[in-house]
């Protein structure tokens, strides 16, 4: 099936459950993505420690939905190898469609429930952790306006870019490279049904970084500013001109200048670049 590499997969594709129906297959696809070159089936078998039948079956299923393709190898031999056709697996569905929702539930069993239970069984026990073992768990239920949701989205996108960057270190790595993972990072943002009261911002952090986290929370810039100051600070950090801010807020440019001076003084910054860095880091230093 021919698809553009930027076109999301469709949850209704009948080949999707077979292709993505196990964590073993997801691992195989990711390893192939990391190799970043045409890879022979025998190499893949070595990399993922799976038998030939399992690897060949997975590759055939991937090919049917356009996740992989065969390319001539540029290394030594003239053999044909496998490559991924995209750098991420993105599945689209129709919001509110009962059929799509049922199909998503099937995928969820692999992407979320099964994988999570597998990883949970491999998390290092608390009793064996040392000072250098980084761990972090955070849960929060709260109310967010449109601006805060946009800010949250940008934060999550930055996290996604960071995780993708970390994985890029392995692209083109030799077949014997150690790909075993060191940490599990799980982030979930879900809308709530009505009637849920707020939870405290509970963060469980390893002792080696707890003091730093506490300091950053105590010095969070948003706590140092009034609501109007925070609104103007965000605008300045985004690069909005003072004139545009004045028009948007219905105040004079002179008033915006006065607010800017006050914001800079409270946050200990001298210019927009420092203000933007302070806001995006949330730190006191």
pLDDT digits (tens, 9 = 90+) for 122-179: 788 888 888 778 788 777 777 888 888 888 888 888 888 888 888 888 877 777 788 8
**Domain boundaries of the chain, sorted by first residue:** 9-92, 135-146+199-218, 221-281
1 pLDDT higher than 50 = no
Domain 221-281 belongs to what topology?
Answer: Arc Repressor Mutant, subunit A (1.10.10)
C-alpha distances in Å from residue 163, one per residue of 160, 169, 185, 209? 5, 11, 9, 20
pTM flag (> 0.75): no
CA 156 – CA 187 distance, rounded (Å): 9
Average pLDDT of 83-92?
86
What is the CATH class of 9-92?
mainly alpha
Who wins on pLDDT, 195 or 160?
160
User: What long-range pairs does 255-259 form, CB within 8 A, spacing at least 24?
Assistant: 256/232, 259/228, 259/229, 259/232
C-alpha distances in Å from residue 26, one per residue of 32, 58, 61, 129, 165? 10, 9, 12, 29, 19
CA 155 – CA 133 distance, rounded (Å): 24
Paired residues of 105 in beta bridges: none
The helices-and-strands tally (H runs, E runs) of the chain is 13, 6
- pLDDT, tens digit, 9 for 90 and up, residues 222-274: 767 887 888 899 899 889 999 999 998 999 999 999 999 989 988 888 899 88
CA 44 – CA 55 distance, rounded (Å): 7
Asked if the domains at 9-92 and 221-281 fall in one CATH topology, the answer is: yes
29 pLDDT higher than 80 = yes
Query: What is the SS3 assignment for 204?
Result: strand
For 88-102, 170-184, 195-209, which range has the lowest pLDDT when averaged over its residues? 195-209
Residue located via tokens 């099936």: 1
Return the percentage of the chain with pLDDT > 90, whole number. 24
* pLDDT value at residue 260: 94
Torsion of CA 178, 160, 97, 194, to 10 degrees: 120
């Amino acid at each position: 099936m021919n698809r553009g590499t930027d076109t999301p997969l469709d949850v209704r594709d009948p080949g999707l459950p077979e292709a993505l129906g196990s964590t073993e297959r997801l691992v195989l696809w990711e390893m192939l993505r990391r190799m970043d070159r045409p890879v022979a089936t025998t190499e893949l078998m070595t990399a993922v420690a799976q038998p030939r039948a399992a690897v060949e079956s997975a590759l055939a299923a991937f090919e049917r939905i356009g996740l992989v393709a065969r390319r001539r190898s540029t290394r030594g031999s003239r053999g044909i190898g496998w490559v991924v056709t995209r750098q991420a697996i993105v599945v689209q569905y129709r919001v509110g469609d009962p059929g799509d929702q049922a199909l998503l539930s099937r995928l969820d069993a692999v992407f979320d429930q099964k994988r999570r239970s597998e990883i949970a069984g491999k998390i290092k026990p608390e009793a064996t952790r040392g000072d250098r073992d980084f761990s972090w768990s955070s849960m929060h239920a709260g109310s967010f306006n449109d601006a805060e949701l946009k800010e949250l989205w940008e934060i999550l996108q930055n996290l996604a870019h960071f995780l993708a960057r970390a994985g890029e270190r392995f692209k083109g790595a030799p077949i014997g490279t150690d790909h075993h993972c060191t940490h599990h990072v799980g982030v979930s943002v879900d809308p709530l049904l009505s009637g849920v009261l707020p939870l405290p911002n509970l963060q469980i952090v390893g002792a080696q970084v707890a003091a730093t986290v506490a300091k950053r929370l105590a010095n969070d810039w948003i706590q140092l500013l009034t609501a109007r100051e925070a609104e103007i600070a965000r605008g300045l950090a985004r690069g909005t001109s003072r004139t545009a801010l004045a028009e948007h807020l219905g105040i004079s440019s002179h008033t915006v200048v006065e607010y800017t001076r006050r914001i800079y003084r409270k946050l200990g910054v001298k210019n927009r670049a420092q203000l933007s860095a302070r806001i995006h880091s949330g730190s006191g230093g």
